[in-house]
Amino acid sequence: MRTQVGIIGAGPAGLLLSRLLALRGIDSVVLENRSREYVEARIRAGILEQHTVDTLTDAGLGDRLRREGLEHRGIHLQHPGTRHTLDFPELCGRTVWVYGQTEVVKDLVAAQLAGGPPLLFEVSDVRPEDVDGDAPRIRFTDADGTPQVLECDVIAGTDGFHGVSRPVVTEAGGRLWERTYPYAWLGILADAAPATDELIYAWHPEGFALYSMRSPSVSRLYLQVDPADSIDNWSDDRIWDGLSRRLDIDGWTVSTGPVTEKSILPMRSFVSAPMRRGRLFLAGDAAHIVPPTGAKGLNLAVADVTLLATALTRLLREGRTDLVDAYSDTALRRVWRCTHFSWWMTSMLHTTGDDFDAELQLSQLRRVCSSEAAARELAENYTGLPIEG
């Protein structure tokens, strides 16, 4: 087997990269170790920045998004007794969209299987090889158990945090930065109409809570919990009680309904640099993780592959190396901006049990809710800064 770009991992990063390359006449093959059902059922975050919506639309993936996605013009920031609205168009001229990453992945898989480049599910033993030369390859075992070799011009490692690509880059050198946070999120999906127009980010002495949504009849809500806690300790009643206390404001109530999914998600910041070794390029969660508080993970993956698609096209069509050589540094500037923003939102909103921390957080929240400059800084980052490159 031979292709121009061998792509490891069919998450949003790998699938979108394949699509963007195909639109520019570059071949690729996507190798995924899980099944289609598994990949399409994974529940992840649900906020798309304006540039993500534009990129998906330009790639011909905007139909269902525009039909079923919900455009949001701001967020509510809450601390006890106060619910303040940030109006994004007024502050920075942009909006965001609520459309689950699960739905983005379903749209990408459907487009790929309808005449797009090959997408192979349930492969195993995936190994990038000879990435320092001009003719790298990927060895893998296909779904029937037959060993295969995919010869490529370049390899994209879009295989997420636990993939095989990053170790190949880091064994040649580079640096990692990591921060684990002393809290986690308990997330639920509920068949309940959202009781709010915009997402609510709430600081509360008992811990952070977030009211998000997936559709006019499905809510997605989160509670800050201890990372060592078990989901078995959280009955649906206990979750709803916690949510209604932490989100409480006069004259308003959380709307409840059957909980269809619940789980506890760890929170970490992680950056690996460089995002390249020879002809192997990393993008998305394979190179960096942000805590979910600013909903940046998917958007950052889209920004990476937008840059990478342009750089690889220049390399493979014109033989010019300027953009692939700049890729890692250019991508990492956005990665660190989003890493900072996600850390800042996380640090402002999650209680630590320390009274001094709590007063600093409340002071910062009051500042964002009273100063247009402070609010604009949040709004510009939340809705997504323009992509460099």
Which residues are annotated as catalytic? 72, 201, 292, 296, 382
With tokens 């979108």, the residue in question is 16
267 in Cβ contact with 184 (< 8 Å): yes
Among ligand PHB, ligand APR, none, residue 136 binds (CB under 5-8 Å by kind): none
Q: Which is nearer to ligand APR, 37 or 134 (CB)?
A: 37
Q: How far is the CB of 341 from ligand APR (least distance, A)?
A: 15
Among ligand PHB, ligand APR, none, residue 220 binds (CB under 5-8 Å by kind): ligand PHB
Q: Which is nearer to ligand APR, 209 or 303 (CB)?
A: 303
Q: Which tokens in the block code for residue 301?
A: 């993956």
108 in Cβ contact with 231 (< 8 Å): no
Q: Which is nearer to ligand APR, 256 or 330 (CB)?
A: 330
Measured between alpha carbons, how far is 235 from 221 in angstroms, rounded to an integer? 15
Among ligand APR, ligand PHB, none, residue 294 binds (CB under 5-8 Å by kind): ligand PHB
Which residues pair with residue 28 across a beta bridge? 5
Q: How far is the CB of 18 from ligand APR (least distance, A)?
A: 11
Q: How far is the CB of 219 from ligand PHB (least distance, A)?
A: 9
Q: Which is nearer to ligand APR, 26 or 39 (CB)?
A: 39
Among ligand APR, ligand PHB, none, residue 47 binds (CB under 5-8 Å by kind): ligand PHB
Among ligand PHB, ligand APR, none, residue 116 binds (CB under 5-8 Å by kind): none
Q: How far is the CB of 199 from ligand PHB (least distance, A)?
A: 6
Closest-by-Cβ residue to ligand PHB is: 212
157 in Cβ contact with 166 (< 8 Å): yes
**Can you give the binding site for ligand APR, defined by CB under 6 A?**
8-14, 31-34, 39, 44-45, 101, 126, 158-160, 162-164, 284-286, 297-298, 301
Instruction: Write the secondary structure of 162-174 as one string of H (helix), E (strand) and C (coil).
Output: CCCHHHHHHCCCC
Q: Which is nearer to ligand APR, 156 or 365 (CB)?
A: 156
Q: Is it true that the peptide bond before 118 is cis, omega within 30 degrees of 0? A: no
Measured between alpha carbons, how far is 288 from 330 in angstroms, rounded to an integer? 14
Among ligand APR, ligand PHB, none, residue 3 binds (CB under 5-8 Å by kind): none
Measured between alpha carbons, how far is 214 from 345 in angstroms, rounded to an integer? 21
Per residue in 111-129, is it b (16+ CB within 10 Å) or e — as a string?
Answer: bbeeebbebbbebeebebe
**Can you give the binding site for ligand PHB, defined by CB under 6 A?**
45-47, 199, 212, 220, 292-295
Q: Which is nearer to ligand APR, 119 or 202 (CB)?
A: 119
